[in-house]
Amino acid sequence: METWEVFRRHGHREPFEHCGTVTASGPDMALLTAKECFLRRREGEHLWVVRRSDIHSFQDESMLEVGNDKDYRFNSGYRDVVQKRERAKERAKELASK
Amino acid sequence: MSDSLVSLVTALGDDELVLGHRHSEWTGFAPHIEEDVAFSSIAQDEIGHAAALYSLVAKVTGDSADRIALGRDKSDYRNAILCERDNGDWAFTLARHWLYDHADELRLEALEGSAHEELAALATKIRREERYHLLHADTWLKRIAQGPVEGRKRLADGVMKAFGPSLALFEPFELEDEAVKEGWLPLPSGELRDRFVRFASEQLDALGLPTDIARHAEEGAEFVASSSGDLIAGDGAEMAQGGDEDGTGGRRGRRTADFDALWEDMTAMYRTNPGATW
């Protein structure tokens, strides 16, 4: 018996989302039980099962940390742009009135 | 005219109700939690099919579906005996589930051509749910047939025990001739049984699982599908455990001790509170 990760999607254009796991001896048995465990109340319209051992990730989660000096990758890094633009407008008005 | 319709549909409903009840006894006890949910769903489906069939009968006779399901005496049920047998182990349950649902599939396929429009439409509706039952039964049967050894052996024992009695699912019901003449049942049970024997023995042979047909073949008897019913019936006494075990008589109201316990349990609430609704 192996662990299978179950994914389902709600609509044709929606992404598949993880919804749980089942224990089963193969993909056919996994699908068979996943249908009744995760799709019995019309929670979605399609189902995937993926053998957990086929899912790969980083051994060291700290690899996924983002450094502190990456302000430019975040919206918050551009908070002062609005103020800068307002100041530039003021300045333009001043110059025009001269 | 309507008597033969009532006889036909009541027998179908009784199969579904009684086997559905047996399946439901696995709830909480199935081999693992995921299967517990899956098999319980199947049990609910079968009881749902019984409710729909009884509602059709109730409309014709002015009765209520609950009364038909739970308010009858033991001797009034017309299910095949296979359906009432104790669950035994999981392997027997699977063997019976596989045999029953494939037999039911052939029966429902025929009923889609029934002259009774409502029954034909109901057969179509039921078949939609049966697709999952068939997938479930096929997947399990193939999986366990592949081993390990103990599972395979238990499954083979289960098939041996259930195969003969499964043919009695096609034992003619009361007033069948009339029902066939009226077109309620487009094909007589004997014809359906021949189709079933052909299908089941091919499938089971392919998995290396035993059937009585296979045993006859080993003994050198030539198996002719169209006459298989006679072959089986003729050798019934020798089959499996013999005697009672050919599983016939259910359609005429013969009940076994297994049924007594099931009926006591299944109808307890209704008998305590007649006419209760839930």
- Domain borders along chain B are 2-272
The answer to whether position A67 is within a domain reads: no
Q: Is B128 on the interface with A (CB under 8 A)?
A: no
Query: Which residues in chain B are contacts of A28 at CB distance < 8 A?
Result: 139, 143
Tokens 């008589």 belong to: B249
Residue B253: its H or E element: none
CB-closest option in A1, A32, A37 to B135: A32
CATH of the domain at A48: 3.10.20.520
Number of Cβ pairs < 8 A linking chain A and chain B: 32
pLDDT at B188: 96
Tokens 């099962």 belong to: A49
Task: Output the CATH code of domain B2-272.
Answer: 1.20.1260.10
Our count of domains for chain A comes to 1
The answer to whether position A60 is within a domain reads: no
Furthest C-alpha separation in chain A? 82
The answer to whether position A48 is within a domain reads: yes
The answer to whether position A17 is within a domain reads: yes
Q: How far apart are the first and last CA of chain A?
A: 82
The answer to whether position A76 is within a domain reads: no
Which residue positions in chain B have pLDDT lower than 70? 1, 212-245, 278
pLDDT at B220: 39
Tokens 């034909």 belong to: B120
Tokens 């009135």 belong to: A97
- How far, CA to CA in Å, does B3 sit from each of A23, B13, B39? 49, 15, 34
pLDDT at A76: 86
The answer to whether position A13 is within a domain reads: yes
pLDDT at B274: 78
| Mean pLDDT of all residues in A3-29 | 95
Token pair in block for residue A1: 């018996």
Buried-state track B89-119, b at ≥16 Cβ within 10 A, e below 16: ebbbbbbbbbbbbbbbbbbbbbbeebebeeb
* Total residues found in chain B within this entry: 278
Centre a 10 Å sphere on the Cβ of residue B274 and count the other Cβ atoms it contains: 10
Q: Is B139 on the interface with A (CB under 8 A)?
A: yes
Cβ atoms of B84 and B262 within 8 Å: the answer is yes
pLDDT per position as a tens digit, A71-91? 888 888 888 888 999 999 999
Q: Which domain holds residue A13?
A: 2-54
pLDDT at B1: 60
Q: Which of B118, B115, B108 is nearest to B195 (CA)?
A: B108
Q: Is the peptide bond before B148 cis (omega within 30 degrees of 0)?
A: yes
pLDDT at B216: 41
Q: Is B34 on the interface with A (CB under 8 A)?
A: yes
pLDDT at B221: 37
The answer to whether position A29 is within a domain reads: yes
